[in-house]
Amino acid sequence: MDIGFRICKRERVAPKELIEAYKQVPVANVSDSMFRMTAAGSKLRPMHASGSMAGSALTVKARPGDNLMFQKAIDLAEPGDIIVVDAGGDVTNALMGELMLAWAIQRGVAGFVINGAIRDVDAFVETNLPTFAAGISHRGPYKDGPGEINVPISINGMVIQPGDIVIGDSDGVLAVPLDAAEEILKKAQAKHSAETRQLQNISEGKNDRSWVDAALKARGCTLP
Q: Is 108 annotated as a binding residue?
A: no
- Tell me whether residue 98 is annotated as binding: yes
- Residue 170, CB half-sphere, CA atoms under 13 Å: how many? 3
The secondary structure element, H or E, covering residue 123 is helix 121-127
Closest CA to 84 of 102, 66, 61, 103: 61
| Residue 99 marked in a binding site | yes
Q: Is residue 118 within 8 Å of 128, Cβ to Cβ? A: no
Angstrom distance (rounded) from CA 197 to CA 167: 24
| Residue 17 assigned ligand-binding role | no
List, as residue ranges, the binding site for Mg(2+).
120
Going by the annotation, the residues of the binding site are 97-100, 119-120
Annotated binding site for substrate: 97-100, 119
